[in-house]
Structures are given as C-alpha cells and as structure tokens.
Amino acid sequence: MKVSLACQVFSHSVAAGILAKIANNELPQETTTTAMLIEKMDQLFDTLNGDTPDRKRGKKYFTNFTQRSPSTFKLF
C-alpha cells in the first residue's frame, strides 16, 4: 500500500465526514471513537512529515517537530 493512500484514508476530511454523518444520525454515536482515531492519525502524519517552521495549509501540526511543538505526541 502506498503511504499517500494511507494519508488520504487517515485524513482530517474523512474524520470530519464521519462526524457530519453522526450529526445527521446516519451513523451511530459510537462511531465518534473511529473519527477521533482518524483525526489523531492525521495529526501524527502531519507531525512526522512537517518540514518547515511555518504552518502549511493552516494545519496546526504540520510543522517541524520540537519540544515546543503544539503536538499531542510529546517525546519528553
């Protein structure tokens, strides 16, 4: 599997789509956990792939990873 396909599946837009379906009662409330996992995976991909100190596309976690990063995936 290509990494780019995994990034598309674990993306903010997929998580937002699931949450929208939950809000419209098209999916059960328990699906929220799946949406939150997808959102965290998107943040992890952004954290690990950020290559500049500037934020790209307005994404909070898509920057260089430092001890002062806004990431929820702290190493220390």
Tell me, yes or no, whether 25 lies in a domain. Answer: yes
Q: Give the pLDDT of residue 58.
A: 64
- 22 vs 30: CA distance, rounded Å: 9
Whether the per-residue pLDDT at 75 is higher than 80: the answer is no
Tell me, yes or no, whether 76 lies in a domain. Answer: no
Tell me, yes or no, whether 74 lies in a domain. Answer: no
Tell me, yes or no, whether 44 lies in a domain. Answer: yes
Whether the per-residue pLDDT at 68 is higher than 80: the answer is no
Tell me, yes or no, whether 42 lies in a domain. Answer: yes
More confident: 7 or 30:
30
Q: What percent of the chain has pLDDT over 70?
A: 59
Instruction: Give which of 48, 47, 72, 40 is closest to 61, Cα–Cα.
Output: 47
Domain count, the chain: 1
What is the domain extent for residue 41?
3-49
- Residue range 32-54: mean pLDDT, rounded: 80
Q: Give the pLDDT of residue 48.
A: 74
Residue type, 31: T
